[in-house]
Structure 1
């Protein structure tokens, strides 16, 4: 067989319940020969096996021993809360599977080896985790294909979203073989069902290595063949990521692997890695221990599972601020035991931390408000002399020792912190189905009665009306249009995020009112003039 780089083949199944899957996938430049699909098995012989622990219900396909469905028993489906959330799936609506198999070594030619298209047999055993048991073992064995037999053993643990997966290649032939093991995640390029278009979260493949750290790639970049990732490593993982959830293949440090991302078929993509098993003598065997994570992006769980795995919970450029904020939020929840009130408490602590910065900003605004009548009179008097007007305005500012930007700078310093908190609340799976009080039963979904967004809009307008009106009429109008437009967006935002902004607004109004009163500038509301 001729050698071919990045050999990925997809073929649709005649079975309408199945979907196209890749036959083999290798990293560009890896120089691994394409392995043909295993001989097709009779449709009646193929079956699906369901196993369950206390947190996972998994479905395996005897074709390749692939994991084709994962139901998370501790997470509800937000579209239908009577059902559990399904992450991996192989149905007419969605394709998302974990596949493994063997391909020939670099530059090798010859017969096909057991792949994820090979029909395997299941070793009899328990199919659910019994009371008192801590482990559940599921074992698949392939027939002899190309002089090699593949034994695949999944070991699931109580309370764990990560499973051990052992691949043992047995040389049943008369000559030495040098196969390679591939581990891949195959997924369609669709956004998760119910994903809001008003805030953007990443869906797609990612890789992590010590050299290049966390790299995520959009499906569009794979489509356009613009994938730039670390191709070779001895550490790290490959993953498929979406809002709140992820799956990942993990190999131990020190094991050589080639990483790849490929388009498998129309709207079907793969991310994976390939590791060589070296030469296996006749009658001998070699095994590779891997792990697979399938579950929610619980930060402490991810950190304990593998180095860098917590990065699938992607905070972007505000990670350095978001991580300590999440830590503090988690500690508050440990005391308060309610995520909604924990959000309120966290914003209160941030307001206390930034009290003096805000005080300077509001003091500057109060001074601006106090001289507003003088500015307005001067602008009216010199409206036909713009240069003289500008000079007169600067003179007033100097006399009153006012910096026009004094109210903005202290607030701008805090913006990255509050953006980081926004991403913490948006990214944390703990908010899913988490109640606050009264009618708010899920902090990750919009307020069903739109009460919080209305309150958010009112507090935003109240805060705007307390600020000094800009002398320029156009600026004064924009000062109202921006918060109003911003408030409309919050009708589609999760309740937890809206709560955070309401709390921030309310505390800002209270502090501004207090400072204005102390400075002898009574709080006065001004309405827009359109």
Structure 2
């Protein structure tokens, strides 16, 4: 291998080590738990000649302070229970807000007795997060004549929201307009909200329906550079992601008292907030034009998304209505894909953060998902996926490993060239090129499989880190969550000593090796022994230490990713060993170790 190729590989390896060391020693800071905020009245935006959706900050029209607990906030008003296959919670009759929602199939930790995941929470409690619907007044109407955040609805029909029993709320403004809101929910995570207005007055009225998803204060996020958390929206095939920290950088709209980015959607779109595993999204009906708004209200520290539908003119005696969808739940790939296909929600599958290598992450996850359906265990599915990927790359690997076998055979000749050339690097280079040409060896051929593994590795890392299906997925034994690091530790002899392993992020975590990282180091070392060593002593020493450096650096990575790398190294070792033997080279990895020990003992004497 010539110096240029060696230096390229060396630089790449060192760069990766530097990056890994940086993220181990200086991990991205997690956002602190939001401090209590004060809810204050905001300035209503205007759109299309009429007042549009009022800010979610307008609650009771006056400032409110946070109460101490979520339960206390839930007990402040009348509610209707929600009970579906995957959801539990309630709808507040104040504003008709969907502000109490938990995900019954998901728990906060792997402990089966841990609390179920809470998605939405009411105003007045910590981390208020809710969906709100209403009508924006136009013409001679004012806000107190249309329903908003503080409207006290009454129940017209239904006493519990289930997949079999919808509910209908009613509000009469006693000035000729009767408003109704009908809500349904399916077995998964989709709500259907139909807003209607009956005009019993003697004059035509103008107004516009809207939907809001709002979060009070910045939520506690993972805050990792490969993961998007914040606003996600689709606007006529254009996917946009805006992080929470970037919302205050948008244009300031003085009349609304907010930083906002407004987009007009002509046919298909949706928008909302996405977390790592959960999402709340407003979805107007396919083909429905609307105005998509991402907003931050600095006066109240509220992050907000709005779907503003076009203005309606309701003639006397007429009823006008608008139906929209609301997704509030877990980002399950199959569920979201089914919604996209069955309901015609364009690009909804892209609400999952597939990343830059989406052309690889999507098919890799599809294959992993289907393997898991077949095998029933995500750990074994990762190993099966590795086997399939290695089989696809086998033709290329065959040529590469054959070249490496030839390079191994040429090691004695290369050592002789080095002795003859001495310090004359140019002479050494010329001699090596002549040797390669004579023996018909391409030293760069061995690098190609490594280069192809890089995007595959990062794509699988993205899949394991982002997708919900890996969350709390067990393999066997002590590996109960493939999306988390190996919980075992060499510091307590893998559980034999009566104290716990250091917590992630502590100063001892980097040396708290688990079983999987140790196997990773061993398999990397075994694979390295089959490759030709660099002729330069410094480079040879660096490459010799790399397996053990990576063992420590990757010890805190997700177990699923470490498992993939162990499987990949093991299969690569087997392939390379067999291919080398088929070309006449007989590697003796463990024999080399014994001879090395003997040589050191003799040198010590």
Asked if Structure 1 and Structure 2 have the same fold, meaning a TM-score greater than 0.5 normalized by the shorter chain, the answer is yes
Name the counterpart of 2:205.
177
Partner of 2:81, secondary structure, is: strand
Name the counterpart of 1:293.
327
Alpha-carbon contact 2:379-2:482 (below 8 Å) kept: yes
TM-score if structure 2 supplies the norm length? 0.75
Name the counterpart of 1:272.
306
Alpha-carbon contact 2:232-2:272 (below 8 Å) kept: yes
Name the counterpart of 2:39.
20
Residue 280 of structure 1 and its aligned partner are, at CA, apart by 1.1
Q: Does 1:119 align with 2:119?
A: no
Name the counterpart of 2:352.
313
Partner of 1:271, secondary structure, is: strand
Name the counterpart of 1:144.
173
Q: Given the alignment, which residue of 262, 270, 277 partners 1:244?
A: 277
Residue 78 of structure 1 and its aligned partner are, at CA, apart by 2.1
Q: Which runs of 5+ in 1 are unaligned?
A: 1-15
Alpha-carbon contact 2:53-2:308 (below 8 Å) kept: no
Q: Which runs of 5+ in 2 are unaligned?
A: 1-34, 65-72, 252-259, 340-344, 489-513, 597-605
Change in 2 beyond 3 A, CA 1:343/1:329: same
Residue 55 of structure 1 and its aligned partner are, at CA, apart by 1.2
Matches within 5 A, 1:42-81: 46-78=77-109, 81=112
Name the counterpart of 2:570.
506
Partner of 2:356, secondary structure, is: helix
Q: Give the Cα separation in 1 of the matches to 2:365 and 2:587.
A: 36
Change in 2 beyond 3 A, CA 1:200/1:183: same
Residue 143 of structure 1 and its aligned partner are, at CA, apart by 4.6
Alpha-carbon contact 1:23-1:35 (below 8 Å) kept: no
Change in 2 beyond 3 A, CA 1:294/1:364: same
Change in 2 beyond 3 A, CA 1:396/1:92: farther
Higher helix share: 2
- Pairwise CA RMSD of aligned residues? 3.2
Residue 258 of structure 1 and its aligned partner are, at CA, apart by 0.4
Name the counterpart of 1:204.
230
Q: Give the Cα separation in 1 of the matches to 2:385 and 2:166.
A: 43
Alpha-carbon contact 2:269-2:286 (below 8 Å) kept: yes
Partner of 1:208, secondary structure, is: strand
Residue 31 of structure 1 and its aligned partner are, at CA, apart by 5.3
Q: Given the alignment, which residue of 402, 406, 411 partners 1:367?
A: 406
Q: Given the alignment, which residue of 513, 516, 532 partners 1:452?
A: 516
Partner of 1:369, secondary structure, is: helix
Residue 191 of structure 1 and its aligned partner are, at CA, apart by 5.7
CA shift digits 1:239-276 (9 cap, x unpaired): 21121222211111222200110102465311221002
Q: Give the Cα separation in 2 of the matches to 1:427 and 1:35.
A: 33
Name the counterpart of 2:243.
218
CA shift digits 1:177-221 (9 cap, x unpaired): 21111212212564656x385x73211111113342x21112222
Partner of 1:247, secondary structure, is: strand
Q: Does 1:235 align with 2:259?
A: no
Residue 124 of structure 1 and its aligned partner are, at CA, apart by 5.9
Q: Give the Cα separation in 2 of the matches to 1:508 and 1:284.
A: 72
Change in 2 beyond 3 A, CA 1:128/1:180: closer
Q: Give the Cα separation in 1 of the matches to 2:380 and 2:349.
A: 25
Residue 407 of structure 1 and its aligned partner are, at CA, apart by 0.4
Partner of 1:368, secondary structure, is: helix
Change in 2 beyond 3 A, CA 1:22/1:413: farther
Q: Does 1:103 align with 2:136?
A: yes
Name the counterpart of 2:505.
none
Residue 30 of structure 1 and its aligned partner are, at CA, apart by 5.2
Q: Give the Cα separation in 1 of the matches to 2:409 and 2:44.
A: 70
Residue 488 of structure 1 and its aligned partner are, at CA, apart by 3.1
Q: Give the Cα separation in 2 of the matches to 1:428 and 1:98.
A: 24
Alpha-carbon contact 2:218-2:303 (below 8 Å) kept: no
Farther off after superposition, 412-421 or 294-303: 412-421
CA shift digits 1:39-73 (9 cap, x unpaired): 65999973444321221012322221111122111
Q: Give the Cα separation in 2 of the matches to 1:35 and 1:246.
A: 22
Q: Does 1:518 align with 2:579?
A: no
Q: Give the Cα separation in 2 of the matches to 1:39 and 1:325.
A: 49
Residue 507 of structure 1 and its aligned partner are, at CA, apart by 0.5
CA shift digits 1:392-448 (9 cap, x unpaired): 221122122121211012432344334333333333312222222122222222221
